[in-house]
Structure 1
Amino acid sequence: MDALHWQRISPLLDALLDMPPDARTEHLAVLRAEDPALADELQRLLALEAGDAGFLDSPPLQLPAGAIPGARLGPYRLERLLGEGGMGQVWLAARADGLYERKVALKLLRPGLADPRLRQRFDREREILARFAHPFIARLLDAGIDQNGQPYLALEYVEGEPITSWCQSRQLDLAARLDLFRQVCEAVSHAHANLIVHRDLKPSNILVTPAGHVRLLDFGIAKLLDVHPLPVEQTRTGVRAFTLHYAAPEQIRGEPVTTMTDVYSLGVVLYELLTGSKPYRLKRQTDAEWEEAILDGEPVRPSQAAAQADPEATRPYTPARLAHALAGDLDNIVLKALAKRPEHRYVSAEALSQDLLCHLRGRPVSARGQRMGYRLRKYLHRHRWAISATASVLLVLLAALGVVAWQAQRALREAARAQAMQRFVAELFQDAGTSANTPIDLRSLLDMGILRGERSLARQPQARAELYGVVARLRLGLGDYREADDLLQRQARLLAVLPEAPASLRLEAATLRGNTRQQLGNPAACVAFMQPQETLARQEEQHLPLPAAAFFNQLGRCRHALGEDATAQHLFARALALRQREGDDAGVAETTLNQAQLQADSGRPATALATLRQGLARLQKAAGPQHPQAIEMLRTACAVERTLDDLDAAVGDCRAALGLAQALHGDNHRATIDANRQLAALYLDLGRLSEAETIFLDATAWLRARLDPNHPDLARAYNSLAITAWERGDIARALRLQQQAVAGWRQSGNTGLLASGLFNQALILHGAGRDDEALAPAREALRLRQTGHQPGLVGDSQRLLGEILWARGEHGAALAMLEAAVRATRAGFGPDHSHTRRAEIALARARALQGDQGAVLRLQRLAQAHGDSLEQRKAAWLARAYAAALGCAQQPRQARLALDATLTDMQLALPEGGALPREVQQLRARCGAPAAG
């Protein structure tokens, strides 16, 4: 069978094979009336398939010859098949001629479609498509015909997901979907400006990258295929170079295509993106039914399709809510794009995108139905000359008067508010300097400011609302989260009765309140407060880019705290784009920091570290080497390196953060105190107990003089001192301090910090042999951590609880808990992390104590598995000590020698001792005295 004949018959055979027997018979009857020979041949092929289901495994036309992994086509080497269709195949290929290295998507056309003049056409098409330089279009890199006559196209290889499935899997809201779709319109408009019509727009040709950017594929392919087109019959038996479900009526009729043909296809994609379904409802899914629907059928209104949809397909909305959101503007926009006649559609993809932007901003759209308002406009148009003169004069006068009155009223309000605020601040500081012989501290001054403001600004509620926000922001900086929350609640009550309050004040209020609720450990409340204002932020992001960016950034932090990482990433990306556009260097650094924290918490610490390094370099280049935001970025890098067991690098970054804080703020500033405390925690890991304790004592004294007794930051200081005391062996002091930390964190409501405090409390009690007391805090810590989204921390709690249960003699429950700990730490930290090793060591020891010789060997292997990191070496020492202690009964002398050698190694690295050397010393003591001589 030759290529041309197979090209004609193959899609018809595929369609018949997909039909039930009754539909096949009916379809063949229709074909037989048009082409009896073709129908007979198809019937013979169907009979062959019935007798041998594998007869089509080797097609009569090989597609294309020689296309196997490793094969060479022109300068490219094929690696793996990406996809296959009626016109050819798409391969992942690499440049193989040594000129440069690049992965490409190599499209191989069927040899039967080749033409002696195809190379000339390829060259001309390559020149046209080379003009594309758009971020949302996958570029055509090369085109040619190899030495065997095989035509190929080399395009930019895009790793992405079709736009419809990308949006559905992430449950994006309508605004986010429309933003993505407007990227598609922008790409199509760019192509149209370069005199290229796509002709085959569909979701599989519109990919979204992991970063959330659109890439449009397959530009120019239809042109390549129809330069000298094969005869296309005006029936369903013809060969098509487009996808039927997304084709415009003029394509079905075989009429010339225009840019408005692409507008129709965009309308189908938009319909599917919004509703999850196609525009037409068919009784039978046949090509004939589709052609009839596209040519003559009326599409179902998107809102009606949404109301009847499966609830799973409309997430994150319910069908009723989605139908309500689509009714009106979006219904009209989509149906205008799907108009049967090209002249009734949008004149361009850009016009479609502009209407969508108007909808997003709450402005009128051009797509309107023929209702009373439409007929009234027609009437006015017919009598425009008689009406226009009078209407114009009246309109100008009314508009001028309205604008002048509005501006005057607004100016008076703003002036009065500014004067009131200025007078209030002046009087406040005047009283602060004369009202007492002793200086007033900042908190007292803020309390005085609120009392005076409520009196002096009693008749200016908007100014009073702004005052609450300013003082709340200062309270947040001091760590007074509950006081800040109380002020913001008062502000919210004022704003509820101030419909004229500016959007900037509403956005700042929502951002502050969300931040406060997050600091209090309640991210769900943060989202509940902020979510109703997200529409306002999207509407105002062009006019108020920095307040909108701060809003998106804070909402992203709260979404991240709830484990909604995909939504958080989208919000961070939106905030970053606005801040980059406005040149807000500090804001860009803040959002980059949040993105890195998201990456670290989702199990990608190496990626997080790279993001931090790049963000810090950009900040230092734009704002100089001593920007305050760099302190927090260096501290976060230090924390990430600590989780990676890279203590040396962590110490370097923490010292850099401390040095910068001292240079910018001096020694007596909160930023310096916090950086120094973080460095002290590293000293504790390194066994430098005296240095760590000195820093912790100084920091605690500084915080105690400035914070409430149960402040969460003071509780953090008590926690650090407790761990230091435990490392030194002062169990009574460690427990007393740890109980203070737990009490402070429990009162603050921050479940993450409370879980850490309870974990440390159980750790100290377990180390002291008080396992009955350790059981309750260990179980509560595990329960709290299981409500979060950090499997590594869950695994740590499971490991500690398993060790406590084993010590209590509950061996079955202990083994189950230790096995779960190994799985969780591997998932959260990775297979080679020190925390994973500690879980594996605890499990191996428990099994070895039950007589499992395989577990003994496992302990010995873990004793040898360590790298350069001190934390890895600590795990290896513990495994070596456990393995040696197992031999105390049978080979006491060898066991004691091994334990003594382990203690010697530990003393060299940890001269001040610590909890781990103390545990090994206890094992050594239980093994007995060394033999005489």
Structure 2
Amino acid sequence: MDIERWQRLSPLLDALLELPADQREEHLRTLHDEDPALAAELARLLTLDAGDASFLDSPAMSLPAGAMAGVRLGPYRLERLLGEGGMGQVWLADRADGMYERKVALKLLRPGLANPQLRQRFDRERDILARFAHPHIARLLDAGIDHNGQPYLALEYVEGEPITSYCQSRQLDIPARLDLFRQVCEAVSHAHANLIVHRDLKPSNILVTPAGQVRLLDFGIAKLLDVQPLPVEQTRTGVRAFTLHYAAPEQIRGEPVTTMTDVYSLGVVLYELLTGSKPYRLKRQTDAEWEEAILDGVPQRPSQAALRAEPEASRPYSPARLARELAGDLDNIVLKALAKCPTRRYVSAEALSHDLLCYLRGRPVLARGESFGYRTRKYLQRHRWAIGTAAAILAVLSAALGVVGWQAQRALREAARAQAMQRFVTELFQDAGSSSNTPIDLRSLLDMGILRGERSLARQPEARAELYGAVAQLRLGLGDYREAHELLERQSRLLPLLPDAPASLRLEAATLNGNVFQQLGDPQICTARMQPLEAKAQQEEPRLPLQSAAFYAQLGRCRRELGDFDAARRLHARALELRRREKDEAGMAETRLDMANLQSAMGQPGEAIRTLMDGLAQLRRTLGAHHPQAINMLRALCSLERATDTLEAAIRDCRASLRLAQELHGSNHRATVDAHRQLAALYVDMGRFREAEAIFVDTTAWMSSRLEPHHPDMARAYNSLAVVAWERGDIERAVAYQQRAVEAWRKSGNAGLIAAGVFNLAMILHDAGRDHEALPLAREAAALRARQYGARHALVGDDERLLGEILDALGQPQAAQAALEVAVRLTRAGFGPNHSHTRRAEISLARLQARHGDAAAPARLVALGDTRSNDLEQRKAAWLARAYAADLQCRQRPHAARLALDGVLADMRPLLPEGGAIPREVQRLRDACGSGRPAGATIARR
């Protein structure tokens, strides 16, 4: 076959091979009318290809020996043919001169082609590629002519696939496809900035690497805008340098090309990328039909093409959903790029890329539809038989306009309320600064704000209701739960008088009410107030997702307090889903903290720790390691680790919480003070009483200067000081502090805090031998915890253990044994068989049984005295078991018993140099051993 004949056949054969089999015949019939010989030759080649799949694997023109695989060409060795066209070939080659190793795509002129225009085009491609230095354009690495006169270009070898097949195989969504396409626009814009028009942009020239990076290839027919143009390309069935399906109208007409020619081709690529089809729907797939469509046809809107797409072609969207996604801005963007007149297209590839970025970011785009009149005329022409339907649509639009008008009035009303609130706050602070020379504290300022607001907002009930909620939230932050409750009650009396009050105000009010009642220890009222609005929250999820999520989170906390764990889990899961959808990372962290608290309440501390650690890792990845929410999560993690006898981990996380609070808020902030107090509680467990007491004294002084004496948080401070005083043996001081704590907590009404307070008071009184006073308190603690967490909770097991020890001291062994057996069962099920709380319950039960004649009980005490664990709480329990086992021998073998007790004391001193309640108990046993005096009370674990 001669060269000229092959140059004419090659592009037509390529186009036919890309068509479906049923369309090839129609195309060949059209060609036959224009050139029978050419059509017959193409049909013969197609028949050969159908009979032998490898027919086209070898070139149609024979190659000289210098271009065969394995042969050197300059410094390169050819490996395998990557592709070829009518003008040249591209080979995968290795650098073979030993200078360095690298694979390249070696582009060659087809041997034997002497056409000077093709040689000129090849040389021009080299000059063009030498201008480029862009990450999305395949780079020119080398160029030369071998000893046989064969020119070559060594290009960056790109392992990738065409952009359309890349997106389809990976089922990329529309934003991901647009991000890739914008890389193409960047590359084309760089070429235009270097005065170069590509002129043959199509998917096969745009490869995407496995890393998701675009590479633009094949500048073989690119045009330098600053040189004389080449002769016009032939059309119809002649040699055509460009690819017809992606050609612009001016290319078909043979007019000069500009940068906007590439914009048109980019529009065709974008159309195919979004819809999986070409812009024109033709009856016959022939060159003549294509040229006519490109010159005069109206491109189908991408959204309409999507409706006709095959389901496989529109993945990961259904055709209907894809049409909805494309309708509007994307339709306009693509059609603007495909405008017939170059001046009506985007002025540059960069402008097209910018409009796509505006679409991705939800901003207005430059591409806009035609005038309203034009669009109306077109609509009537297409749908003249549907005018009756239009009347119904018009009615719907009228109703919609009415709704919009109502919403506009409501928006004006809300704006007026916001302005009134802004003016109120400004005037409040102005008055506060000029009222006197004495600074006004925050609480006084809030009280002043309520008085002023009720006067200045008397005629604006919605603004007044909002003011009550805002001040109540501030009061909650200060711990003023009663004052917050009073404000929310005023708000609740206003809301029924406001039928048009916004849903956001109602949801926020319900959430605040729930928070207040939870803090006051009444989760039942919390649930009763919030539950009726759950349906409202579900209805408002699309419009108010974050307010709905906050509502679910608070209702879930109250459900958890009531022991309704299934409902709490469902509510927290919904809150997490909404916050994840809105990318509210801080809210997601708060919900994970709620979930961890729920798992802890369900007796699953291990799962709670994992939830917290996962949430903390996610928070650090998204919002950084210094987000305030991390302080609460670290404190909760520390508390759980302390409860699971992992003291070292608890100390690490408590210190991290304190460090972060100091960095973010300074030393004089409430978060820092609370973190410091929690670390001091760990120091108490470690026997570092002086250090812990110093911290507690400082933090109590800080709070007492800011809070009322009976504030619930002051009760926590009193409780901490009471525990330290008890550990150091100052029983009277411990009782006084703990009584103050219980009194304050009783005023708060929080059942969980009251239970913890009366338990500690009963424990201190029991250690002091005042068991008649301790007994009702221990029973109250058990009843409160059973009501809050359920009768089978592990904390109820702790209460039953203390109750059993007190009953034993009061001479009621049967009742004591029953309580201790319950304690062993509950702690073993809740804390696990190896937990220190479980061992303490087992020790108390074994001691009681041994003292009342159970022959096997002393052996159980000895077994419980195993001190192989390195955990301090485990060792404390083991020391107590050894001491009780030795105490049993005091009557028969007093000398040996005293030696054993001395050994226990010796083991404790290095780890508890400041003593504590357990060393004091062992010393008491040692002093009473052999003297005939009673050994004293069992030490309860706080």
TM above 0.5, one fold? yes
User: In structure 2, what residue type is equivalent to 1:697?
Assistant: V
What corresponds to 2:77 in structure 1? none
TM (norm. structure 1) is 0.58
Listed one character per residue, the Cα deviations across residues 340-370 of structure 1 (whole Å, up to 9, x for unaligned) are xxxxxxxx9x99xxxxxxxxxxxxxxxxxxx
C-alpha distance in 2, partners of 1:524/1:816?
32
What corresponds to 1:814 in structure 2? 816
User: In structure 1, what residue type is equivalent to 2:689?
Assistant: L
SS at match of 1:723: helix
Match for 1:876 among 840, 855, 878? 878
What corresponds to 2:709 in structure 1? 709
What corresponds to 1:721 in structure 2? 721
C-alpha distance in 2, partners of 1:397/1:657?
58
Listed one character per residue, the Cα deviations across residues 530-585 of structure 1 (whole Å, up to 9, x for unaligned) are 11111111111111111111111111111111111111111111111111111111
The reply to whether residue 412 of structure 1 matches residue 412 of structure 2 is yes
8 A contact 2:657–2:675 mirrored in 1: yes
The structure-2 alpha-carbon separation of the partners of 1:397 and 1:811, relative to structure 1 and needing over 3 Å to count, comes to: closer
What is the CA distance between 1:482 and its match in structure 2? 0.9
What is the CA distance between 1:395 and its match in structure 2? 6.2
What corresponds to 1:902 in structure 2? 904
The structure-2 alpha-carbon separation of the partners of 1:579 and 1:928, relative to structure 1 and needing over 3 Å to count, comes to: same
The reply to whether residue 446 of structure 1 matches residue 446 of structure 2 is yes
What corresponds to 2:807 in structure 1? 805
Counterparts of 1:623-638 in structure 2, within 5 Å, are: 623-638=623-638
What is the CA distance between 1:387 and its match in structure 2? 7.2
C-alpha distance in 2, partners of 1:843/1:907?
27
C-alpha distance in 2, partners of 1:806/1:915?
19
Listed one character per residue, the Cα deviations across residues 418-448 of structure 1 (whole Å, up to 9, x for unaligned) are 2211110110000000001101000000111
User: In structure 1, what residue type is equivalent to 2:780?
Assistant: E
C-alpha distance in 1, partners of 2:171/2:726?
63
C-alpha distance in 1, partners of 2:409/2:569?
42
C-alpha distance in 2, partners of 1:501/1:798?
51
8 A contact 2:637–2:650 mirrored in 1: yes
Counterparts of 1:480-499 in structure 2, within 5 Å, are: 480-499=480-499
User: In structure 2, what residue type is equivalent to 1:482?
Assistant: R
What is the CA distance between 1:862 and its match in structure 2? 0.4
C-alpha distance in 2, partners of 1:847/1:397?
85
C-alpha distance in 1, partners of 2:861/2:390?
95
8 A contact 1:856–1:883 mirrored in 2: yes
8 A contact 1:485–1:513 mirrored in 2: yes
C-alpha distance in 2, partners of 1:606/1:542?
35
Match for 1:840 among 839, 842, 860? 842
C-alpha distance in 2, partners of 1:403/1:766?
70
User: In structure 1, what residue type is equivalent to 2:678?
Assistant: Q
User: In structure 1, what residue type is equivalent to 2:473?
Assistant: R
The structure-2 alpha-carbon separation of the partners of 1:403 and 1:775, relative to structure 1 and needing over 3 Å to count, comes to: closer
The reply to whether residue 679 of structure 1 matches residue 682 of structure 2 is no
What is the CA distance between 1:505 and its match in structure 2? 1.1
SS at match of 1:787: helix
What corresponds to 1:529 in structure 2? 529
Mark the runs of 5 or more structure 1 residues left unpaired by the alignment: 1-130, 135-347, 352-383
8 A contact 1:510–1:530 mirrored in 2: yes
TM (norm. structure 2) is 0.57
C-alpha distance in 1, partners of 2:398/2:413?
24
8 A contact 1:786–1:794 mirrored in 2: yes
C-alpha distance in 1, partners of 2:640/2:407?
52
What corresponds to 2:797 in structure 1? 795
Counterparts of 1:466-615 in structure 2, within 5 Å, are: 466-615=466-615
Listed one character per residue, the Cα deviations across residues 784-811 of structure 1 (whole Å, up to 9, x for unaligned) are 1121226211111111111111111111
User: In structure 1, what residue type is equivalent to 2:414?
Assistant: E
What is the CA distance between 1:133 and its match in structure 2? 10
Mark the runs of 5 or more structure 2 residues left unpaired by the alignment: 1-168, 173-317, 322-384, 933-942
Between 1:390-399 and 1:898-907, the stretch displaced more is: 390-399
The structure-2 alpha-carbon separation of the partners of 1:412 and 1:753, relative to structure 1 and needing over 3 Å to count, comes to: same
The reply to whether residue 824 of structure 1 matches residue 826 of structure 2 is yes
The structure-2 alpha-carbon separation of the partners of 1:895 and 1:536, relative to structure 1 and needing over 3 Å to count, comes to: same
Listed one character per residue, the Cα deviations across residues 642-701 of structure 1 (whole Å, up to 9, x for unaligned) are 011011110000000000000000111110010000000000010000011011111111
C-alpha distance in 2, partners of 1:649/1:613?
12
What corresponds to 2:736 in structure 1? 736
What corresponds to 2:200 in structure 1? none
8 A contact 2:891–2:930 mirrored in 1: no
Counterparts of 1:90-129 in structure 2, within 5 Å, are: none
The reply to whether residue 785 of structure 1 matches residue 785 of structure 2 is yes
What corresponds to 2:921 in structure 1? 919
Listed one character per residue, the Cα deviations across residues 263-310 of structure 1 (whole Å, up to 9, x for unaligned) are xxxxxxxxxxxxxxxxxxxxxxxxxxxxxxxxxxxxxxxxxxxxxxxx
The structure-2 alpha-carbon separation of the partners of 1:389 and 1:132, relative to structure 1 and needing over 3 Å to count, comes to: closer
8 A contact 1:522–1:750 mirrored in 2: yes
Listed one character per residue, the Cα deviations across residues 377-403 of structure 1 (whole Å, up to 9, x for unaligned) are xxxxxxx99976776666655654x25
Listed one character per residue, the Cα deviations across residues 852-875 of structure 1 (whole Å, up to 9, x for unaligned) are 220000000001165111000000
SS at match of 1:746: helix
The structure-2 alpha-carbon separation of the partners of 1:727 and 1:492, relative to structure 1 and needing over 3 Å to count, comes to: same
C-alpha distance in 2, partners of 1:744/1:727?
22
| Count of aligned pairs | 556
SS at match of 1:908: coil
8 A contact 1:472–1:487 mirrored in 2: yes
User: In structure 2, what residue type is equivalent to 1:622?
Assistant: T
8 A contact 1:703–1:714 mirrored in 2: yes
8 A contact 1:802–1:815 mirrored in 2: yes
C-alpha distance in 1, partners of 2:390/2:811?
97
User: In structure 1, what residue type is equivalent to 2:612?
Assistant: L
8 A contact 1:866–1:876 mirrored in 2: no
C-alpha distance in 2, partners of 1:133/1:779?
64
C-alpha distance in 1, partners of 2:467/2:527?
24
Between 1:411-420 and 1:538-547, the stretch displaced more is: 411-420
C-alpha distance in 1, partners of 2:910/2:552?
51
Between 1:773-782 and 1:669-678, the stretch displaced more is: 773-782
User: In structure 2, what residue type is equivalent to 1:554?
Assistant: Q
What corresponds to 2:431 in structure 1? 431
User: In structure 2, what residue type is equivalent to 1:477?
Assistant: G
User: In structure 1, what residue type is equivalent to 2:431?
Assistant: D
C-alpha distance in 1, partners of 2:677/2:411?
50
What is the CA distance between 1:406 and its match in structure 2? 2.0
C-alpha distance in 2, partners of 1:674/1:393?
63
The structure-2 alpha-carbon separation of the partners of 1:570 and 1:408, relative to structure 1 and needing over 3 Å to count, comes to: closer
User: In structure 1, what residue type is equivalent to 2:581?
Assistant: R
RMSD: 2.4
SS at match of 2:909: helix
What corresponds to 1:322 in structure 2? none
Listed one character per residue, the Cα deviations across residues 621-652 of structure 1 (whole Å, up to 9, x for unaligned) are 10111000000000000001001101111000
Listed one character per residue, the Cα deviations across residues 236-270 of structure 1 (whole Å, up to 9, x for unaligned) are xxxxxxxxxxxxxxxxxxxxxxxxxxxxxxxxxxx
8 A contact 1:638–1:649 mirrored in 2: yes
C-alpha distance in 1, partners of 2:929/2:479?
51
Counterparts of 1:212-611 in structure 2, within 5 Å, are: 400=401, 402-403=402-403, 405-611=405-611
C-alpha distance in 2, partners of 1:811/1:735?
27
Counterparts of 1:48-59 in structure 2, within 5 Å, are: none
SS at match of 1:724: helix
C-alpha distance in 2, partners of 1:788/1:915?
29
Percent of aligned pairs with the same amino acid: 65
The structure-2 alpha-carbon separation of the partners of 1:888 and 1:664, relative to structure 1 and needing over 3 Å to count, comes to: same
User: In structure 2, what residue type is equivalent to 1:801?
Assistant: L
